[in-house]
Copies of this chain bind each other. A is one copy, B any other.
Amino acid sequence: MAPPDALDRIHLLRALSAEQRAAVVRQCRWRRFGLDEQLIDHWAETSDVAFIVEGRVRVLSHSAGGREISFDDIEAGEFVGEMSALDGRPRSASVVALREGTLIAFLGPRPFQDLVAGHPSLAMAMLLRLSGKLRVATDRIMELSTLGANNRVHAELLRLAKRGRIEGKISVIAPIPVHSDIAARVSTTRETVARVLSDLSRDGLVERRPDALVVRDVSRLETMVEDVRGSV
């Protein structure tokens, strides 16, 4: 039922012709997911790749105690689940929808592998993507291995500030990041995030406005992070 151009906004598939993309559309299984609904189950034996056509998803896992460890938030136009689709091994994490009505196109492992094997530019795009993910994972291993929870919250705040609206030495982060999201991204508790942000706020480095979190001096925050990390 999906129109032939339904996958036109998936970046990976832009190297294909319109006809080739339409052929992929016909091979996909389409489904909408509700907020927080799981589209890939860590423990299920599935190996489809999932193109995010509309909405947004989060890749995550849980500790034995139920604490969430999040790996990545993925936007419409991207995809997820490619590792099992390529190597046939179990899922490395779960994936849930972050928006009501998230629209997913699932493509089976064989057609996905054929697609990658048949188009060198697509294979190269996949290599760059996996390489990028491996770099992020390597940085996170270094942070978890060498920084305390406080400093990891600083480092995450710095990442958010760099993606925020920069005004001179200030960065405006909107909407206000959810404490539990920061906690899941740097593997700590919500309570630690709340305490660190409140300390930074008392120091005047962070200001909480009704609709945004403001870092009042990005370079001072950067110095705090770099001093501990020692990556010079």
Chain A interface (Cβ < 8 Å from any Cβ of B): 61, 63-65, 67, 69, 71, 82-83, 86-87, 89, 92-93, 113, 116-118, 120-121, 123-124, 126-128, 130-135, 137-142, 144-146, 187, 228-231
Contacts and interface: CB of A to CB of B under 8 A. Distances in A.
B71 A138 contact: yes
B92 A138 contact: yes
B67 A146 contact: yes
23 contacts: A63-B145, A63-B230, A64-B228, A64-B231, A67-B146, A69-B146, A82-B131, A86-B127, A86-B128, A86-B131, A87-B131, A87-B132, A89-B135, A113-B124, A116-B123, A117-B123, A118-B120, A123-B123, A127-B130, A141-B141, A144-B144, A145-B187, A146-B187
Contacts of A64: 146, 228-231
A120 B113 CA distance: 11
Given A141-B141, A141-B144, A146-B63, A123 B127 contact: yes
What's the number of copies of this chain in the assembled complex? 2
A124 B130 contact: no
Contact of A69 (B87, B133, B141, B229): B141
B230 A135 contact: no
Contacts of A89: 135
A27 to B, nearest CB: 19
A135 B91 CA distance: 9
A65 to B, nearest CB: 8
Contacts of A146: 63-65, 67, 69, 187
Contacts of A121: 117
Contacts of A128: 86-87
A107 to B, nearest CB: 16
